[in-house]
Amino acid sequence: MSLFRSEDMALCQLFLQSEAAYSCVSELGELGLLQFRDLNPDVNAFQRKFVNEVRRCDEMERKLRYLEKEIRKDGIPMLDTGENPEAPQPREMIDLEATFEKLENELREVNQNAEALKRNYLELTELKHILRKTQVFFDEQEGGSSATESMTRALIPDDSIARQAAGPVQLGFVAGVILRERIPPFERMLWRACRGNVFLRQAEIETPLEDPATSDQVHKSVFIIFFQGDQLKSRVKKICEGFRATLYPCPEAPSDRREMAMGVMTRIEDLNTVLNQTQDHRHRVLAAAAKNITNWFIKVRKIKAIYHTLNLFNLDVTQKCLIAECWVPTEDLEQIQLALRRGTERSGSSVPPILNRMDTLENPPTYNKTNKFTSGFQHLVDAYGVASYREANPAPYTIITFPFLFAVMFGDLGHGILMASFAAYLVIKERTLGAKKIQSDVWNIFFGGRYIILLMGLFSMYTGMMYNDVFSKSLNIFGSNWRNNYDESTLMNSKALQLDPNSTAYFKYPYPFGLDPIWQVAENKIIFLNSYKMKISIIFGVFHMLFGVLLSLWNHVYFRDRLAIMCEFIPQIIFMCFLFLYMVLLMFIKWVNYSADTIDVKAGPYCAPSILITFINMVLFKSSKNPDVCDDWMYAGQGFLQKLLVVIALLCVPVMLLAKPIMIMRARKQHQPLMNAGHTNNAAENGDAGYQLDDSMQQVQPVPAHHDEEEDITEIFIHQGIHTIEYVLGSVSHTASYLRLWALSLAHARKSP
C-alpha cells in the first residue's frame, strides 16, 4: 500500500544509555529512517550539551578544508573510492584530530619554508632582470655618445642643471622592480613630488613572476631612477616604498655588474635545487593526504551529524540516559530495533535501549518511500506541495501522466528517440556518473530526472508515431489511403487541388495507425490538425481532472469522511461531468454523427456544429442559429437537457460552498449541550468510572497546537470558500489550459522544420 499513500508513522520515545547513545545514533543515522524532534528548542546553539564536540568537528573540518585547498593547488587527484566509512567511535576522534593537527602543522611549515625560499628566489630573479635590463640602459648611453663625455651627463637632456652645478655632476641612481600596472601613477608621482628633477627609465620583464604570498603570476617592470642630491634620494626612496617597489643595489661599474650577475646566476641555481626538494616534500605529504581525504571528510561529517542529533536530545534527571523523541515509520520498527541492538553491542553497554511508542494527537510528517525510479517523480510532485499525512500520493500516477502529457506536446518520433537515448545513456551509466558528484546545477537537474526524461522520450516516440512525425517528416509505412484522381493536365495547370473524401480519391477506410502521411503534403495540414489536437487536448484534460477528483473520493473513503463525500465530492463530480464531460460527449457525438461521405446534408460537413459555440451557447442559455437546411440541435431534446445540466451544475456551487460548514456547525451545536450535560451528570453522580478515566486521560495528554477540533467556524467557512472558488474557477481555467497541449504541439510542429 505504501506506493499509493505515505507511510504509517508513529511517534516514539527513545531512551538511550549515555555511553551507548553515540553508537546507537550512528547506526540509526546509517539507516536514515527516523526524524528526531528538537526537545530543547529554547536552548541556544552554543549552550547545548555536545557543543564542544561539534566545535571540535568544525575545527577538524577547517583543517581538512585547508588540506583540500593545498591539494587542489598542486593538482593532485583526490582518491574517491565511493566507499562509505562508518562513523568512528568517539575515542578515535582524538586520533583523527592528532593526525590532522600533525598534517596541518607539517604543511604549514613546509609552506612557510617554501614561501621564504620563493621570496628569496623572486628577489634573485628580480635582481637578475635588473642587472640585465639596466645594462641595456647603460649600453645605450655609451653607444649613443661615443665621446668620452660622462655617460651620466648625457642622460640629462636639460643642460641647465648641469651648468648650474658647474662641471660634471655625480648623479645618483636607484634601481628596482615594480608591478607593471603601477608604473603610470608612479611616474606621475615622481614627476610631481620631485618637480621633474628625476629621470626614470623602465623596461618590462617579459616573463611573469610568481608572488610568493599568493602564488599568483604577476607582471613586473624594471625601473631605474637618476637623481641628484640626497634630499631627492630620500624622497625617491619614500615614493618607491609607497608604491611597494623593491629596490636592489646595482653597482655602477660595468665589471662589478657582470660579476654580480654571475654570482646571482649561481645562487639562483642553488636555490632552484633546494626549492625543488621542498616542492617534492610538499608533494609527498599532500599525495599521502589526498588518498584519505574524502574518507576523512565523510568521517568528520558523520561525527558532526551525530553530535548535532545528540544535541536535540533531553537528558534525564539522573544524567544516565538520553531521551529522544522521533517519528518512525511503523513498518520499519523492526529494523530500527535491530540497529539499536547493534549500536548497543558496539558500545559494549549492558542496558538495552528502550523504544516506546507514544500516543499523540499531532499530525505525523508525510514520509513517502521512494526508489531511484520514483524519487524523480516524487520530487516533481513535492515541488508543488507535499500531501498531508496518509493522503493519497499523486506521484505514482504522475509516472504515466506527466511524461504522456509532455509527449502530447512534444510528439515527434525522431526527437523522442534522441531524448530517450540521452536519458537511456544516463540511466545505464548512472553508477559511474553518480559517483562523479558533478556539482553543476543544470547537470543535476538532468541527472536527477533521468527516468522522467527517459519516459518522456519513450512516450514522445509513441505520440510521434501517432502524429506521424519524424523530424517533421512523415513515414509512409502502410501506404497512404488517399490517391490522386486528377489527370495530368489538371495537375500541371492548377496550383492547389482538393481531394474530396467523398470521391474515389479516398479508400473509405482510415490509415491503420496514426495520421495518414498524405497530410504532410497537404496545404491545410495545420488547420486539420488544429481542430483534431484541440479536441484531443480537451478530452485528455477533462479525464485527467476527473481522475484527480476521483482520487479525492479515495481519500475521503480512506479517512471515512462521509460529510466530505456528500458535500464536496458529489457536487464536484456533478459540476465537472455536467459541464465538461458533457462537452467531451458532444465531441464524440459530432465525430460519430457527422461525416463527409454522406449524401444527407444534415449530417454532412456543412451542418456540422462548432462544439465551442455550442458549449458557449449552452452556458449562456442561448439557442444556436443554424442555417435553415440544418437541424438546430445535434439530437432531440438537446436544448432542454443542456439547460437542465447547466442549472444543476450551477446549483452544485452553493452546495460546495455552504453545505459542509453548515453541517459542521449543526453537528457542533448538537454536540456541545450533550457534552455539558455529561459533565454535570458526571459531577453529580461521581460514580461513572469509565468517564472519569477518559477525563483524566485528557488532562494528561498535552493539547497540541495543531489540533483542529477547536478550529473557528469562520475559519472553516473561509477555507471552504477558497476551496470552492479554486475548484470552480480552476476547472474552467484548467480546461482552457489543457489547450496548451495543442498549442505547444503546434509550436513544436511549426518550429522544427
Partner 1 sequence: MLGSFFNIDGGYLEGLCRGFKCGILKQADYLNLVQCETLEDLKLHLQGTDYGNFLANEPSPLAVSVIDDKLREKLVIEFQHMRNHAVEPLSTFLDFITYSYMIDNIILLITGTLHQRPISELIPKCHPLGSFEQMEAIHVAATPAELYNAVLVDTPLAPFFVDCISEQDLDEMNIEIIRNTLYKAYLEAFFAFCKDLGGTTAESMCEILAFEADRRAIIITINSFGTELTKDDRVKLYPKVGKLYPDGLAALARADDYEQVKAVAEYYAEYRALFEGAGNNPGEKTLEDKFFEHEVRLNVNAFLQQFHFGVFYSYLKLKEQECRNVVWIAECVAQKHRTKIDNYIPIF
Q: Which of 311/474 has CB closer to partner 1? A: 311
Least distance CB 521 / partner 1 (angstroms):
50
Residues 221-240 interacting with partner 1 (rule: CB under 8 A): 235, 238-239
Cα–Cα nearest to 734, from 532, 530, 529, 546: 546
Cα–Cα nearest to 123, from 247, 273, 262, 250: 247
Is residue 224 a contact partner of residue 137, using CB atoms and an 8 Å limit?
yes
Considering the rule CB under 8 A, would residue 509 count as an interface residue with partner 1? Answer: no
Separation of alpha carbons 311 and 313, rounded Å:
5
Q: Which of 73, 192, 436, 437 binds partner 1 (CB under 8 A)?
A: 192
Considering the rule CB under 8 A, would residue 496 count as an interface residue with partner 1? Answer: no
Site string for partner 1, 386-415 (x = CB under 8 A): ------------------------------
Considering the rule CB under 8 A, would residue 106 count as an interface residue with partner 1? Answer: no
Site string for partner 1, 448-487 (x = CB under 8 A): ----------------------------------------
Considering the rule CB under 8 A, would residue 213 count as an interface residue with partner 1? Answer: no
Interaxial angle between packed helices 51-74 and 254-310, expressed in degrees from 0 to 180 and rounded to the nearest 10? 140
Considering the rule CB under 8 A, would residue 605 count as an interface residue with partner 1? Answer: no
Residues 252-311 interacting with partner 1 (rule: CB under 8 A): none
Using the contact rule CB under 8 A, the part of the chain among 47-55, 261-269, 399-407, 485-493 near partner 1 is 47-55
Considering the rule CB under 8 A, would residue 429 count as an interface residue with partner 1? Answer: no
Using the contact rule CB under 8 A, the part of the chain among 38-46, 73-81, 580-588, 728-736 near partner 1 is 38-46
Least distance CB 60 / partner 1 (angstroms):
12
Q: What separation in angstroms does the CA of 401 have from each of 406, 455, 545?
A: 8, 10, 11
Q: Which of 1, 32, 41, 46 binds partner 1 (CB under 8 A)?
A: 46
Cα–Cα nearest to 407, from 574, 540, 591, 508: 540
Considering the rule CB under 8 A, would residue 524 count as an interface residue with partner 1? Answer: no
Least distance CB 114 / partner 1 (angstroms):
19
Q: Which of 32, 44, 77, 266 binds partner 1 (CB under 8 A)?
A: 44
Least distance CB 638 / partner 1 (angstroms):
54
Q: Which of 4, 243, 462, 482 binds partner 1 (CB under 8 A)?
A: 243
DSSP H helices in 523-625: 525-558, 562-564, 570-576, 582-593, 611-619
Is residue 463 a contact partner of residue 469, using CB atoms and an 8 Å limit?
no
Cross-strand pairs, 314: 323
Separation of alpha carbons 429 and 449, rounded Å:
14
Is residue 363 a contact partner of residue 389, using CB atoms and an 8 Å limit?
yes
Least distance CB 163 / partner 1 (angstroms):
27
Least distance CB 366 / partner 1 (angstroms):
27
Considering the rule CB under 8 A, would residue 196 count as an interface residue with partner 1? Answer: no
Residue 300 DSSP label:
H
Backbone angles phi, psi at 469, to 5 degrees: -125, 120
Considering the rule CB under 8 A, would residue 188 count as an interface residue with partner 1? Answer: yes
Is residue 193 a contact partner of residue 239, using CB atoms and an 8 Å limit?
yes
Considering the rule CB under 8 A, would residue 51 count as an interface residue with partner 1? Answer: yes
Is residue 735 a contact partner of residue 538, using CB atoms and an 8 Å limit?
yes
> In a 10 Å sphere around its CB, with 0-12 CB exposed, 13-18 middle and 19+ buried, how is residue 628 labelled?
exposed
Cross-strand pairs, 10: 328
Separation of alpha carbons 195 and 211, rounded Å:
33
Q: Which of 61, 70, 325, 412 binds partner 1 (CB under 8 A)?
A: 61
Considering the rule CB under 8 A, would residue 109 count as an interface residue with partner 1? Answer: no
Considering the rule CB under 8 A, would residue 193 count as an interface residue with partner 1? Answer: yes
Q: Which of 32, 41, 42, 45 binds partner 1 (CB under 8 A)?
A: 45
Considering the rule CB under 8 A, would residue 72 count as an interface residue with partner 1? Answer: no
Considering the rule CB under 8 A, would residue 65 count as an interface residue with partner 1? Answer: yes
Coil, strand or helix: which one is 171?
coil
Q: Which of 162/194 has CB closer to partner 1? A: 194
> In a 10 Å sphere around its CB, with 0-12 CB exposed, 13-18 middle and 19+ buried, how is residue 522 labelled?
middle
**Beta strands 209-210; 35-36: pairing state:** unpaired
Least distance CB 193 / partner 1 (angstroms):
4
Least distance CB 238 / partner 1 (angstroms):
5
Coil, strand or helix: which one is 173?
strand
Least distance CB 104 / partner 1 (angstroms):
9
Least distance CB 377 / partner 1 (angstroms):
33
Considering the rule CB under 8 A, would residue 182 count as an interface residue with partner 1? Answer: yes
C-alpha 451 chain-centroid distance:
17
> In a 10 Å sphere around its CB, with 0-12 CB exposed, 13-18 middle and 19+ buried, how is residue 499 labelled?
middle
Considering the rule CB under 8 A, would residue 68 count as an interface residue with partner 1? Answer: no
Q: Which residues bind partner 1 (CB under 8 A)?
A: 44-47, 51, 54-55, 58-59, 61-62, 65-66, 182, 185, 188-189, 192-193, 235, 238-239, 241-244
